[in-house]
Amino acid sequence: MGKAIGIDLGTTNSCAAVVEGRTPRVITHRGGAATIPSMFAIDEKGNRLVGHEAKRQAQLNPKNTVTASKRLIGRNFHSETIEKVRQVFTYEMVKGDNAEVLIKVKDQLFTLEQISAAILRRIKEVAEESMGADVDQAVITVPAYFNDRQRQAVRNAGKLAGLTVLRILNEPTAAALAYGLGKNLSKRIAVYDLGGGTFDISVIDVKSRIFEVIATGGDTFLGGVDFDDRVMQYMVEDFRSKHDLDIAIDPIAVQRLREACEAAKIELSTVDRTTIRVPCIVNDATGQPINLDVELTKETLETLTGDLVDRTLETCKRILAEANTTKDAIDTVLLVGGQSRMPLIRKKLEEFIQSPPSTGVNPDEAVSIGAAIMAHSLADRRAADVTLLDVLPMAIGINKVDGSMHVLFKKNQPLPHSKTRTLTTSKDNQRSIMLRLYQGESRLVAENELLGTFVFSGVRPAPKGTVKVEVTFLIDSEGILNLAARDTDTGQTVRSTIRLGKSGKKKRRQRRAAASQGGVATTASKSPDTAPVGKKTSGVAGTTPDSSAKPIAQSEATGFFGKVLGWFQVLFRG
């Protein structure tokens, strides 16, 4: 069996680490670089390039260079997020059959899982070269606020890259591992993680080798690239006002400017002013080249991006409230992610928590080191055990007839946890039941993410309301959602399948198919906090909020449900 490593799959840069002996170390690339650009490209000769090779040619080949793909993974093509991204990114996005996002590079279509897999495969190759051994296992980190689709997509990418994914681990939790393991700590920490494309804040209790997440939240569309974009917009407007030319319509100019703005932003973390220079960025009406040469001060940068920093602090306030804790109860605030180096962020955080944030971990390397520690613990039986107690980042529920979401698992629900619901048929001889699961924080299902449509088939023919199907939901300690169903009268398992992310015509066809088989499910009993029973619910089952809901031990979950109920698994989590 090969080695196990930890991978921080980042929006702008990725990093990997390994535990050798008892000491974790970051895996460096040839030339000594500790990170690899999260970029994929195909050049003019048809060569596929990843990482540094892709970045070196990005300025001259922007349409065929994919950057920040982590922001797109697991998202619906019609989402507002994708609409915003398409206005900024230089490469082409295409709608897939299931409304997923496909990337067009040199007339070839790639899924986002394939793009991420290429980056992970490159990391795997570098690790094998550095360690002189095969690497076939990994713990891969994701933002704590990633939804089910996004997590499953990352897991699929790992598999495509030839890796056995030991665990999908939240980035703030990984950083806490890197900070606290082996120090025999007993404190409550907050991890402020502002990376290239996402922001997370988690409140975590650390007690020796036990890391218990109390609450987590964030924004999967707020990160360093948004700070870069603010500077870019400023430069574009400044250039337009001086020369009456719009450089935003030229993809090569945009890519060159983007890289210059990012470099200037980073430099302003240590100096008060810098100059953004892009020679011959465009030609004027006579064909003469024009240079972009603009001074940017730290004060201007802070004015342009101050509201983005404030957004992170508003999220911090909300998560502290959800954790039922105060600023005074936080012993340490860890800064993670490259964007957290910005002086304005450190200044505002210090004002917010009334004490300086900790610089006890390397913002760029902490997540990968924590992932490596977890990978070592899972892959090597001789390694000391690490206990992670995680929570659900967003509520999971099903739709009620009024369009609201009946919550099955609440936000920040400690894991593992299980619940049972009893469904019944609404038509005579109905042979299947459909159940849609949603994830999100809105009370309306239409504003939340559709995780999938579960179809329970093989229901025995009987008069309506006679058959009762008991559906058991279990989220284990790793955040895997398991569904199983059985006929309460016969004890027989009811087959289940899932349709993920279908939309439009396909959704309508599914509803017609369900109706032709006998209709939809209704609840087996009525309860004050559910919608009226016995009504059609657009092809979706209703539920009862009664029934058992209790935390269960991992061993009980695996033993009982694995033997009796026949699982169908879908990754969902925070």
Pairwise CA distance, residues 200 & 533, whole Å: 39
For residue 168, the SS3 value is: strand
Question: Hey, what are 331's tokens?
Answer: 């012993």
Order of all β-strands in the sheet with 199-207: 332-336, 186-194, 199-207, 210-219, 387-389
Integer-rounded Cα Rg, in Å, for the chain is: 25
- Catalytic annotation, pick one of 70, 124, 400, 411: 70
Pairwise CA distance, residues 291 & 283, whole Å: 9
- Catalytic annotation, pick one of 171, 228, 262, 390: 171
Pairwise CA distance, residues 52 & 68, whole Å: 14
Pairwise CA distance, residues 193 & 175, whole Å: 9
Q: Is 529 a catalytic residue?
A: no
- Catalytic annotation, pick one of 3, 8, 100, 262: 8
Question: Hey, what are 525's tokens?
Answer: 């009993």
Q: Is 171 a catalytic residue?
A: yes
| CB-based contact 408:397 (threshold 8 Å) | yes
| CB-based contact 146:173 (threshold 8 Å) | no
Q: Is 400 a catalytic residue?
A: no
Look up residue 494 and give its DSSP letter.
Answer: P
Pairwise CA distance, residues 148 & 152, whole Å: 6
Residue among 278, 297, 394, 290 nearest 344 (CA): 297
Torsion angle of C-alpha atoms 348, 354, 360, 362, degrees rounded to 10: -10
Q: Is 193 a catalytic residue?
A: yes
- Catalytic annotation, pick one of 100, 113, 148, 193: 193
Length of the chain, in residues? 574
| CB-based contact 188:329 (threshold 8 Å) | yes
Cis peptide before 416, with omega less than 30 degrees from 0? yes
For residue 402, the SS3 value is: coil
| CB-based contact 434:398 (threshold 8 Å) | no
| CB-based contact 530:544 (threshold 8 Å) | yes
Max CA pair span of the chain: 84
Question: Hey, what are 143's tokens?
Answer: 């933002």
| CB-based contact 2:136 (threshold 8 Å) | yes
Residues with active-site annotation? 8, 70, 171, 193
